[in-house]
Chain A
Amino acid sequence: MFNARITMPAEAKAGEIVEIRVLTRHPMDRGGQSDGKGGTVPRKILNRLTATYAGDQIFRFDMHTGVASNPFVSFTTRAVATGDIVFEWREDGGATYTRTSRLTVT
């Protein structure tokens, strides 16, 4: 089950540094346990989170099995123009999840 809570200001002045906090709901299953049928459960974690803003990738977080379930991360960026910040998570197996937050620059 995927979900995310993104916390950041809705507005900022041009040039201002904004803090973005991202809490994600995900089991981050590192796999390897027995599946009860002689095999093992495959790894299923979110392996990457990226954030894109005003056409640029402003953040990238590569995650490994050492990252606990429901990971939290925070980072900062500089407000440049009104627009969407697009968050994209990539999961093992190819699924992706996206969330969008609007930043209005005054």
Chain B
Amino acid sequence: MALLALPAAAQVKSGSEFLSPGMARQQADETRNPGFFWVEQGEGLFSARPPQGQACIVCHAEPRQSLRGAATRYPQVDAASGKLLNLEGRIEQCRVERQTQPAFGHESAELLAMTAYIASLSRGLPMDVATDGAAKPFYEAGKAFFERRQGQLNLSCQQCHDGLVGQKLRGDTISHGAGTGYPAYRLEWNSVGSLHRRLRACSLGVRATQFDFGSPEYLALELYLAGRAKDLPVETPAIRR
């Protein structure tokens, strides 16, 4: 198939390059990008003292320096458990184990806000996840998922996000699926949502199984996408249609 023969990772571009000029301006303009409300909320939560336990900022002083670049290295394998964690997973781990508070929960306003805030501290820095060593099996699983045809439409992620890049689909322009702007503000959601929420939309689009937020399948996929996006800048909070 001609579609599958196209070169991949070499020229992966950010989803922002496929935005209309008006939306690209809105994304870049902090006074008009609603995603910054979530960033601001996350910044507030980061300093807020929970009923018991310590505020995040007690252990992570000067987050603008100490957590700058953190988002570029996620997903990553957690050394202690051997599990693959994305940024949300790492935040929840700190929340539960170190802050001794109940987990925020997937797609909760708090987790989205905290993730958007911490990712925003890496804006402009190049993505740099490890795909070798302990990460390799996860990366390979993500790659296999990306290339596998699925759903009633029998399409792979790759057929759209490599083969049909630049083509229109229901008013969208298909990008490489880099995912470097998430959590992102999507007009269709009227809100900020996670990368996994976007992945669920793509799975539904081909009428395939929608995996859960934080599922091993989507985590592996997220690692593969992040590996493809190597050196692209973090753009959270991006704006998408």
Could you tell me which A residues sit within 8 Å of B by CB distance?
1, 3, 5, 7, 21, 23, 25, 27-28, 68-70, 72
B100 nearest CB across to chain A (Å): 26
B42 nearest CB across to chain A (Å): 13
Number of A-B contacts (CB under 8 A): 31
Report which of A1, A21, A28, A72 forms a contact with B109, defined as CB distance below 8 A.
A1
Taking a contact as CB atoms under 8 Å apart, the answer to whether A3 and B187 are in contact is no
Q: How large is the interface on B (under 10, 10 to 19, 20 to 34, 35 or more residues)?
A: 10 to 19
Contact A23:B187 (CB < 8 A) given known A5-B37, A70-B37: no
Q: Which residues of B contact A1 (CB under 8 A)?
A: 109
- Residues 25-61 of chain B, each 1 if its beta carbon lies under 8 Å from chain A, else 0: 0000011111011001100000000000000000000
Interface residues of B in 177-202 (CB under 8 A from A): 187, 190-191
Could you tell me which B residues sit within 8 Å of A by CB distance?
30-34, 36-37, 40-41, 109, 187, 190-191
Which are the 3 A-B pairs with shortest beta-carbon distances? A69-B190, A70-B34, A7-B31
CA distance A7 to B30 in the complex (A): 10
Q: List 29 A-B contacts (CB under 8 A).
A: A1-B109, A3-B37, A3-B40, A3-B41, A5-B30, A5-B31, A5-B36, A5-B37, A7-B31, A21-B31, A23-B31, A23-B32, A23-B33, A23-B34, A23-B37, A25-B34, A27-B190, A27-B191, A28-B190, A68-B187, A68-B190, A69-B34, A69-B190, A69-B191, A70-B34, A70-B37, A70-B190, A72-B32, A72-B34
